Homo-oligomer: A and B are copies of this chain.
């Protein structure tokens, strides 16, 4: 059987990198999966969980050189620095992708910096969990997940096709978006809701918490996410998150006004519109 990739190198073995490694190996999608991570303990866990065939705590030029796909699965601010280092250590041609949840800045800097032999395609699998790290990795993480790719006019069509098959092969639904549009939509559907969940958790009195039912638990589940990762994600998409916050504020103010006026029928109508909107979400 021909593999989709000869060898895949994954840089960063957290929840996403680890899950991708597991999915690639289970599906026999790559001849070999190599992992790079700074910490020895993480590498041990990744090996034990079957997320990589082999790996190293330093970049190894030989292993990079044998990879036809490199996936950078580090937090967003380190994606470009990691790509720069990898570029300097290699001479061969390969496809490069990342999984960061902000794309505009990364795609722009990658296109400015990378040599032509490295064919970059920005990816963002909309999959996650409030748990983090390779210990939470799960080969089914990407099943039915929207995998957003952000090609530009400079993106290699062949590389785009290969990266699309990667995400489809691990179960994702591939959607193409311009990087700027991606950042705006993801701010609305992911980044700003993280902040709202955090604000909801923070605003409840401690005395109220033992009263919480499943509704509050669901609404605030995102507040369990890794704080330093999410702080970094939010900072990389500030402008769009601020715009999404304004959209949210307008809706909240509208609901508050109806409440103040005691406008039951209007409030019910707004809640019905929200229900219709929410029903479009498939999960």
Contact = CB atoms under 8 A, between A and B. Distances in A.
Interface of A: 126-129, 145-146, 148, 175, 185-186, 188-190, 192-225, 227-228, 230-232, 234-235, 238, 241-242, 244-245, 247-252, 254-256, 259-260, 262, 264-265, 267-275, 277-283
Contacts of A250: 203
Given A242-B256, A272-B227, A215 B193 contact: yes
A281 B200 CA distance: 12
- Determine the main DSSP class of A at the interface with B: helix
A36 B281 CA distance: 36
Contact of A146 (B175, B211, B245, B270): B211
Contacts of A217: 281, 283
Nearest to A237: B259
Given A231-B268, A255-B199, A268-B231, A219 B221 contact: yes
Contacts of A244: 203
